[in-house]
Amino acid sequence: MKKLLLASAIAAACGPGFVSADIRINGFANLTAGFTTSENVDGAGNTTDLFGYDDNVDFSNGSLFAIQISGDVNEKVTATAQLLARGENDYEADFEWAYLTYSVNDNFSVNAGRLRLPLFRYSASSDVGYSFHWAQTPFSVYDVPFTNLDGLRLDYTNNIGDWDYTLQLGSGTYTSEIGGGVADGEDVLLITAEATYESFKARLVYGQSNTTFTEPTTDAAFAQLAQISPVLADKIALRDDSGTFTGLGLEYDNFTWFVSGEITKVTGGESFSADDNAYFVTMGTRIGKFTPSITYEARDGVEDLKFLEDIAALPAQFQPAATQIVVGFQNFFYEDYALTTVGLRYDLDSQVALKFDVSSYENKIQDALDATLVRIAVNYVF
């Protein structure tokens, strides 16, 4: 089906209107190699990975190739499609973006289709390794299950004196795969405001959605719990629960040195999902073709156990089984870690950059999972 869609897109581009149409084709690629300096083994003796990396050199995780095609339908309407193939998915190409843009005027535009949610500073270019100084964007902040939106996004840009600003409003749905499961978001609403003054930039984000998470093992456990207490099973399951996303970003970049950071908070409503707090701070300097930098990031997704009072209200014979499910799921999804990354970017040539990052990972739940991650990347655009 995907090959048919690609063939149709190429055929349409090369059809009778191709000569007169303004078709633009560009692309980008990341070749990333990464490994941990030792084997990661948890307290139960299970071998684990760190963000998809282990002690064997991996060339798939973080590597990708993409082609973006855009064309003017008329003076007001532009069509954009991005085909992206990720190494972790065996380079199977998929439509990452596919949307139409209607330019109402020089300041206001309406976008409809599948497009990127403007959650972060580098949301629009988070896959374009060449656009930033890291080998990969900070996991703690950027690793969220909702990045694309199927729906509408309104963009408005203008200025007040020396301040330039952008306002964005998005609405629609999303579907993302998470650890063998699927997260579906409905009634998504996102508001973003960004302002720039000379070397300074600030952005605020607020979003909300009703989210449902399904996964075979999780669903089976909740079905078992429902036999004990349907009310408790409904509470702990992530089923059409209202969640929120808030974010703040600050940046100063005078093209010689820079410092920036982002902080986010994700809430999952009344379910097994804990509230997630994450942030990063990074700074670096540009010395000719070299950009050395240091980044500190952290994620805290641990909170007091929920639903203990509900378990205590159950008949005594059912409490052990209910506790195992309710407490077990909350503990399984808890995250609490920090990373310190020292990196170096070298601009090898026009539109080609080399990256070398070394990250020290501290797991604040299990010390045995502390590790050192090394990543080497080649990023280019064309």
CB of 127 closer than 8 Å to CB of 28 = yes
The whole-angstrom separation of Cα 89 and Cα 80 is: 23
Q: Are strands 181-197 and 163-178 parallel, antiparallel or unpaired?
A: antiparallel
Collapsing DSSP to helix, strand or coil, 45 comes out as: coil
Q: What residue has token string 């972790």?
A: 88
Q: Is-above-0.75 flag for pTM? A: yes
Q: Domains in the chain, ordered, with CATH?
A: 40-51+100-381 (2.40.160)
Reading the block at residue 84, the tokens are 């992206």
Q: Tens of pLDDT along the chain (382 residues)? A: 444 444 444 444 444 444 445 899 999 999 999 999 988 877 777 788 999 999 999 999 999 999 999 999 999 999 999 999 999 999 999 999 999 999 999 999 999 999 999 999 999 999 999 999 999 999 999 999 889 999 999 999 999 999 999 999 999 999 998 878 899 999 999 999 999 999 999 999 999 999 999 999 889 988 999 999 999 989 888 889 999 999 999 999 999 999 999 999 999 878 888 899 999 999 999 999 999 999 999 999 988 888 999 999 999 999 999 999 888 888 888 899 999 999 999 999 999 999 999 999 999 999 989 999 999 999 999 9
Tell me which amino acid residue 110 is: V
The whole-angstrom separation of Cα 95 and Cα 217 is: 29
Reading the block at residue 220, the tokens are 């089976």
Strand spans (E) along the chain: 23-36, 40-41, 47-48, 64-72, 77-86, 92-103, 108-116, 148-160, 163-178, 181-197, 200-214, 241-253, 257-267, 276-285, 290-300, 336-349, 352-363, 371-381
